[in-house]
Structures are given as structure tokens and as C-alpha cells.
Amino acid sequence: MLEGCALAFDFGERRIGVAVGDAMLGIPHPLATIDTAITDERFAAIAKLIAEWQPKQLVVGLPMHPDGEEHELSALSRRFANRLKGRFGLPVWLVDERYTSVIAEQLLEEAGVKKGRKQKPALDQVAAQAILAGWFEQPGTAV
């Protein structure tokens, strides 16, 4: 059974979108964008979020092609998920993130957020929100 707070990550080589939600309520919210490619800085930012939110589970989006085949970034997302598990000792779940960026773009457009470079951090957070919403509906695979 899914319980407690969960943090979800939309992993990217440059940025990581983060969302938070309570599994019991099943309502995710955009939280933060970690905007650095430096591994130590990324994990320091994640450690702060974990200390603040005290999640019981972590969720990582797994990039997939529309046909269900893994994307070129899937291996990096799996590695990131394994590092989260190793560093923080929390259960980590992988969730198919197909179409989450499309969903995020639509939600931001509906909210009146204009496309462009300034939209990117919000896009990453809302994509993480869509990943977490998907996990609430169908938990995915444990790492």
C-alpha cells in the first residue's frame, strides 16, 4: 500500500524537476527545479528536500519511446534512481514517463505560462508532477 509523502523526479542531464505529494490523498504538486549538472550539487539539493519533506518513497520517471522501447536517457535515469536508493535508503520506484512533458506543456499553456527559456524550470516541475500522478495511479517498478 502506498503511504506517506513521496518526492518525484523528472531527471534530465541539465535539470531535475521535483514534485511532492501525499500517497494517501493522491494529489501531487510541483516543488522545485534543481538546475545544475554537477552531481554533488544535485544530491545536496535533493538531501535538503528530503530533510524538509521527509518522504517515505522516491519516484523517478523512466523515459520511454511511444512504442514502449526505452529511450536513450533511460540508462541515466536508472542510474540516478539507484544512486538515490544508495544515498538515502528510501524505496525508489521507476515510472514510465511517456508523454509527461506533453502533459506539462499543456497544463502550463492552460495556466497562461508562455513558452520559452523561462518556462523550462516550471516545465520540469510539472513533468515531475505528472510522473507522480502516474505513480499514484499505477506504482511502477521498485529499484
Query: What's the one-letter identity of residue 104?
Result: A
Q: Is residue 98 helix, strand or coil?
A: coil
pLDDT at 76 over 90: yes
- pLDDT, residue 115, reads 72
pLDDT at 105 over 60: yes
- pLDDT, residue 3, reads 77
Please, what CATH class does the domain formed by 5-142 belong to? alpha beta
C-alpha cell at 61: 520517471
Spatial contact of 122 and 14, defined as CB atoms under 8 Å apart: no
* 88 band by pLDDT with thresholds 50, 70 and 90: very high
Residue ranges per structural domain of the chain:
5-142
CA distance 84 to 51: 14
pLDDT at 33 over 60: yes
CA distance 141 to 138: 9
- pLDDT, residue 104, reads 66
- pLDDT, residue 122, reads 78
C-alpha cell at 95: 515510472
CA distance 4 to 43: 22
Dihedral of the CA atoms 97, 9, 93, 46 (nearest 10)?
Answer: 170
